[in-house]
Amino acid sequence: MHRLLLLSSLWLLAAPPASSIFQRPTGSPAPPRLQYLLEPLHAAVHTQRGATATLPCVLRALPRNYRVKWSKVEPANYRESIIIITNGLYHKNYGPLSPRVRLRHSHRYDASLTITDVALEDEGRYRCQLVNGLEDESVSLTLHLEGIVFPYQPSNGRYKFNYHEAKRACEQQAASCPAAWTEGLDWCNAGWILDGTVHYPIINSREPCGGRLLLPGVRTYGARDKQKDRFDAFCFTSALQGQVYFIRGHLNFKEAGQACRNHGAAIAKVGQLYSAWKFSQLDRCDGGWLADGSVRYPITTPRERCGGLPDPGVRSFGFPSKELRTYGTYCFTG
């Protein structure tokens, strides 16, 4: 009987098409003043990977026959992916976020969205929409992960990735394409970010990077052909639930992987090393193998005998021959 009642009530939650355009045409009037939804105190919610985050959406009154729809705006195509729809009594989840989302429901006016075990791909813009006949209204919020953007090239050189390959390369390195810039980065090579545009960030203006007369900032090539155009990748990683550590030795690439497995760990990925450097202050002068076949080392306190560069960072020896027995290895255990 209860199952029959639930099914008969879910007709109210019938979803519109799986995605819809979320863009206000240029020159269109501003949205009307909110009548039922409260404007959130803060437009951004800050969190870390693996945490639980709540995006607030609270009603000041309950209209008749209303629905609340949560969706996520996908920056690559400006389309919405529906996450959850509720009529106040029943709700239905949609899409890949479905197992990790719920409504907070701390009181009858609360339609806030809670996301558990936050992942890198959860970062971005969300919309809470009150569907109430002709008087629909909505609020937008941004879920922001504390993290770091880093540049990435493959072993065969610069400017080898189309957009889809760049996105896949970041995912393979325990990272994602960034939706936006989270902090300063100085890098001359142009790279893809999540919305399909290409940029390069400059802190120290110089001749090979657009000239000395241009002010520091993020230089942009705009939107490019995602299939044909080729650039580097910019990847984004956040705090880890795990540990990166170094094993000393004179190991080739195969021996490096086995050394980590002997300790019950896996050879670390580039994103994991950057995360350990940024959030755990990992600092070593020793070059070590990583899962992509590159050799790198993290420096928190710059010093002359550790590369001589004045700024902290993850240094790279590139992609040496995998048979070379010169380096140790960085391992990751979760």
Domains with residue ranges and CATH for the chain: 37-145 (2.60.40.10), 147-237 (3.10.100.10), 243-333 (3.10.100.10)
* Structure-token pair, residue 102: 């719920």
Tell me the per-residue pLDDT of 246-291, one tens digit each, with 9 for 90 and over: 999 999 999 999 999 999 999 999 999 999 999 999 999 999 999 9
Which among 142, 157, 226, 217 is positioned nearest to 192, based on CA atoms? 226
Strands (E), the chain: 44-47, 53-55, 67-74, 79-86, 91-93, 101-103, 113-115, 124-131, 137-145, 147-152, 191-192, 197-202, 217-223, 232-238, 243-251, 266-267, 288-289, 295-299, 313-316, 327-333
Instruction: Give the up-direction half-sphere exposure of residue 181: CA atoms within 13 A in the CB hemisphere.
Output: 17
- The Cα 200–Cα 183 span in angstroms is 13
What is the pLDDT at residue 133? 76
Strands (E), 203-273: 217-223, 232-238, 243-251, 266-267
Q: Which residue has the tokens 């893809």?
A: 192
What is the pLDDT at residue 32? 63
What is the pLDDT at residue 327? 98
Tell me the per-residue pLDDT of 98-126, one tens digit each, with 9 for 90 and over: 999 999 999 999 999 999 999 999 999 99
Mean pLDDT of the chain, nearest integer: 88
More confident of the two residues 35 and 266: 266
